[in-house]
Amino acid sequence: MLSDCSSFTVDQYNRDQLTHGTTAFPAACYLDVLGENSVSWHWHEELEAVFVAKGDALVGIGSETYKFSAGTGFFINSGVLHSYQSASDTVCHLHAFLFHHRLIGGSPESIFHQKYVLPLLENKSKEYFYLNADETWQSDALRAIEKSWQLCVKEPVNFELQIRSVLSELMAVLCSHMPIEQAVPDAKSLRNIERLKQMLHFIQHNYAEDIHTADIAQSASVSESECLRCFRTTICTTPIRYLREYRIECAAQLLAAKNGRIADVAFQCGFQDVSYFTKTFRELKGCTPKEYQYSGL
């Protein structure tokens, strides 16, 4: 069955706090509807396989942003920072399947973990796979992702065994197309990612307050210039732009839920000037807060 992602939260390091599946069966499927909402920067231990069922998605992975169209998909490795949003004014549907590697790898001592799972987890140069149906092996991977998702949604008899089998096929395809030599990121890149996780956490838990670049930098014990450099090199934006966009996403959720007057929503999301809030909302959402609130988005 489809799992509920409405309670999506992150911890102080931007780690996803949702429980994906159960201890007995650590896997879950989600329908991410982008356009109504976006999915902010986060990471999780689980592996994530996604099929783009409708529309176009902009997917941020580390320091890069990629566009994925309907019929394509991607696979994100464990621990990789990523985000999703619609690439246009139209709604985009993502079929996302998250699973813990022990579902197919078993115990750390098993041949399945040692030979197939571990090389992927330890390959720091392979944060993600882009999957396009034009390539035979990528088409096979896409079919495996969508089949796993559909099995999880419908839950036919023995669906757990079927999913495990399909995911094993998926891992076999991916592992056979990993680069032989693994480029290990330098210490500076790893340090930037850890600092960024701390600063994103600070923004997401203090966005309603009057915060500035200096406050964001202080949360990771770095200078303002280092804070700016870290944001630009890691996720290609600035801390204030990220703060503004995050505030607008939070405001959009409140407006969609018909939760309060527009002025109240603006103040709750850190905007002290309603006119500026309206202008910013229009720039990012293509309509006014009032139009969004009553549009049924």
Q: Does this model's pTM top 0.85?
A: no
On whether the CB atoms of residues 288 and 266 are closer than 8 A, the answer is: no
**Do residues 203 and 239 lie in contact, with contact meaning Cβ atoms separated by under 8 Å?**
yes
First to last CA, the chain: 24
**Cβ atoms of 60 and 235 closer than 8 Å:** yes
SS (H, E, C) the chain: CECCCCCCCECCCCEECCCCCCCCCCEEEEEEEECCECEEEEECCCEEEEEEEECEEEEEECCEEEEEECCCEEEECCCCCEEEEECCCCCEEEEEEEECCHHHHCCCCCHHHHHHHHHHHCCCCCCEEEECCCCHHHHHHHHHHHHHHHHHHHCCCCHHHHHHHHHHHHHHHHHCCCCCCCCCCCHHHHHHHHHHHHHHHHHHHHCCCCCCHHHHHHHCCCCHHHHHHHHHHHHCCCHHHHHHHHHHHHHHHHHHCCCCCHHHHHHHCCCCCHHHHHHHHHHHHCCCHHHHHCCCC
Identify the pLDDT of residue 242. Answer: 85
Residue by residue, pLDDT tens for the chain (297 residues) are 777 665 567 666 667 777 788 878 889 999 988 886 788 888 888 999 999 999 999 998 877 888 999 999 999 988 888 888 888 878 899 999 999 888 998 876 778 888 888 888 877 677 889 999 999 999 999 999 999 999 999 999 999 999 999 999 999 999 888 765 444 556 777 788 788 888 988 998 899 999 999 999 999 999 998 998 888 777 767 888 889 888 988 888 888 777 678 999 999 999 989 999 999 888 877 788 888 877 655
CA–CA dist 285, 293 (Å, integer) = 12
